[in-house]
Amino acid sequence: MTTQQKIIETNLAPKAVGTYSQGVHYNGVYYFSGMLGLNPETMELATDFQGQLDQIMKNIAGLLSSQNLNKENIIKTTIFLTDLKNFQMVNNAYEKFFKMPYPARSCVEVSALPKEALVEIEVIAAG
C-alpha cells in the first residue's frame, strides 16, 4: 500500500463480509466495494428486491458521508442483478437518488450474489 492509498472503514454501511475493504481512496478517487441490501446494524438482508434496493442506496449514502462526500461525487456505478426484469425498479430508484446529469453506469445480470441477494451496486466517486 502506498501513502496515497487509504482503506475506508465505517459503521454507516455494512461491514465487509469477506476478504475485502468497504472502500479504498487513491489519488482523489474513491473505489467503494459492492453494497448489498444489508442493514449495517443487524447485518440482515432485506427480504425483497425493493427493500434491498432501498437499503443499498442508504448504504451508499453512508459510505459517501463517512468520507465527507455526497451522491453528486459519484462518477460511475456498476449494478449486478439476479433478474434483469428488475431493471426498471433500478431506474426508478436512480431517478429518486440522483439528479441529472446521472453518473456513468453498467448493469449486468448475474446467476447469483453473496448471501442470496437480488441486487448489488458498487460506486466510484471523486472528491
CA 116-118-120 angle, 5° bins: 100
CATH of the domain at 39: 3.30.1330.40
pLDDT by residue (tens digit) across 35-56? 999 999 999 999 999 999 999 9
Domain encompassing residue 61? 5-126
pLDDT by residue (tens digit) across 67-113? 999 999 999 999 999 999 999 999 999 999 999 999 999 999 999 99
What radius of gyration, in Å, describes the C-alpha atoms of the chain?
Answer: 14
Distances (CA, A) of 10 to 29, 40, 90: 17, 10, 25
Distances (CA, A) of 104 to 12, 37, 42, 59: 24, 21, 31, 19
Give the three cell numbers for residue 40: 449495517
pTM over 0.75: yes
Counting the structural domains of the chain, the total is 1
Tell me how far apart the alpha carbons of residues 23 and 7 are, in angstroms, rounded to a whole number.
6
